[in-house]
Structure 1
Amino acid sequence: MSTLAATAAPSPRALLRGAAALLVAASMLAAPRAIASDDEQSGWLAWFNNTALTPDFGLISDVQVRSRDEWTGVRNLLVRPGLSWFAAPGHTFSAGYAYIGTYPEGAPTATEHRTWQQYVFSRALSFGSVSQRLRLEQRFIGRNGADDLYSDRLRWFGRAVLPLDGAMPFRHGAFVALQNEVFLNLSARDELNARTLDQNRAYVALGWRLNPTTDVEIGYLNQWTQRRNGDTVNHILQVALYTQLSR
């Protein structure tokens, strides 16, 4: 996600509220669960890109390859392009399409198509940068031997990038990234997992800013997914490339 022009730093109370919200969402992972859970281990390789076409409009995209449990092969391919409108410094609206291919071992391939809309708020602070994203998805989930399932889903995402040397503006060097994302089913819950909460993803990473437009990072992502009769905790090693380009 791109960080647009910096604005005035918020009050300490506002910072505390934001940090508390992130911690509350992340704490869902540590809450005791009475139902059985399955643990998995996988790897995700991701490229997140923003390209500014004009001062007002740009392109956004990400491409991800995700492995099956125990790294036995490719489970998912995700391609998500979109168009962005830079409404004001720190405020970006985007909309687009996503293709998700699922390749289960020993079973037919499944395909999901999505349309999506999102709002991103980003801000540069004296000690790093923070961003929040609210995304609405319209999911068309392919099912073998049945009609596609339609479902609406809401996602809230928070991320902080903290330079290790504390220098701002941050142009080069090592950083720590912290983020959390909550997924909520808005429709077709009975056909999915019979719950509003779909999943939670908490992430911590160590990265390196090569230049003002390119970051690379490697980190641990904990994906907790609720199922109808249990849940899955996926321990993920993620390697990600972030680029911000201009035409």
Structure 2
Amino acid sequence: MMKKITLLISVFLMTITISAQETGEDKWGSWAMIFTNNRISDKLSIHAEAQYRNYEFGNNFNQLLLRTALNYDISENAMISFGYGNITTDPTFIDEDIDGIGNFNEHRIYQQLVLRNSVGKLKFSHRYRLEQRFIEDLDTQHRARYFLRVTYPLNEKWFLTAYDEVFINLQEPLFGQNRLYGAVGYNVNANINFQVGYLKNHFTGANFDRFQAALFIKTDLRKKGRDDVN
């Protein structure tokens, strides 16, 4: 019996040690994303997105994020949104059958304001977001996010884009994370574009490198009997 107890304790301690060391910081992860904006009236549109995130390039599941929102255009350069997200997360780099920790689910409600402006050819987008996070069996947390994107057109088809986003917790610890991103984009037409880029995701004491591929689609559901996407 003592040998079995000793063995179990050894395995438990080994698992903790491996989990602490294996965070995946030295791996290139990948995020595959699709964003849609669907116009339903002159002032209202519906946002829908899906993001599939991996700890390693193309494998080792990290997170599935599904999000939607109702947008209201205050003006051509200002918009408010009220949205909901459902997020499934594997919190560890190591497979769950090794460390015994399974995925957890989060329900998220958010409100945001988006402001846009231009300086010459540069286009700026500022997003201010508040989130209420209901994390399964863990906690309810509140968070504020500020997102700044700048886009520069190279020609009618190709463009460069970059953003920085800071996450501030409304409880301790105050700093959540920071995301710095750069990409090259291609306009398929006025309603579809594709972006490929690099994201540096910084947490306190940890930095992750992520390859991103994103598809952006706009549709106009006011049109009847016509193709929504040109």
Normalised by the length of structure 1, the TM-score is 0.73
Aligned to 2:209: 235
Identity rate, percent: 29
Aligned to 1:116: 110
Aligned to 1:178: 162
| Contact in 2 for aligned 1:41/1:71 (Cα 8 Å) | no
* 1:83 has 2:70 as partner: yes
CA apart distance, 1:125: 4.2
| Contact in 2 for aligned 1:128/1:161 (Cα 8 Å) | yes
**C-alpha deviations, 1:119-157, integer Å up to 9, x for none?**
001124431321010000001112xxxx33011000000
**C-alpha deviations, 1:6-64, integer Å up to 9, x for none?**
xxxxxxxxxxxxxxxxxxxxxxxxxxxxxxx9444200001111111101111012210
Aligned to 1:155: 145
Alignment of 1:60-139 (within 5 A): 60-69=47-56, 71-103=58-90, 104=92, 105-106=95-96, 107-139=101-133
User: Structure 1 residues 235, 160: closer, same or farther in 2, change over 3 A?
Assistant: same
Between the aligned partners of 2:121 and 2:44, the Cα distance in structure 1 is 28
Aligned to 2:35: 48
Q: Which runs of 5+ in 2 are unaligned?
A: 1-23, 222-230
| Contact in 2 for aligned 1:63/1:80 (Cα 8 Å) | yes
CA apart distance, 1:93: 0.3
Q: Which runs of 5+ in 1 are unaligned?
A: 1-36, 166-171, 190-194
CA apart distance, 1:162: 0.6
What RMSD over aligned residues (CA atoms) do the two structures have, in Å? 1.6
| Contact in 2 for aligned 1:40/1:232 (Cα 8 Å) | no
Normalised by the length of structure 2, the TM-score is 0.78
- SS in structure 2 opposite 1:73? strand
Q: Greater relative contact order (Cα 8 A, min sep 6): structure 1 or 2?
A: 1
Between the aligned partners of 1:55 and 1:125, the Cα distance in structure 2 is 26
| Contact in 2 for aligned 1:136/1:153 (Cα 8 Å) | yes
Q: Give aligned pairs, total.
A: 191
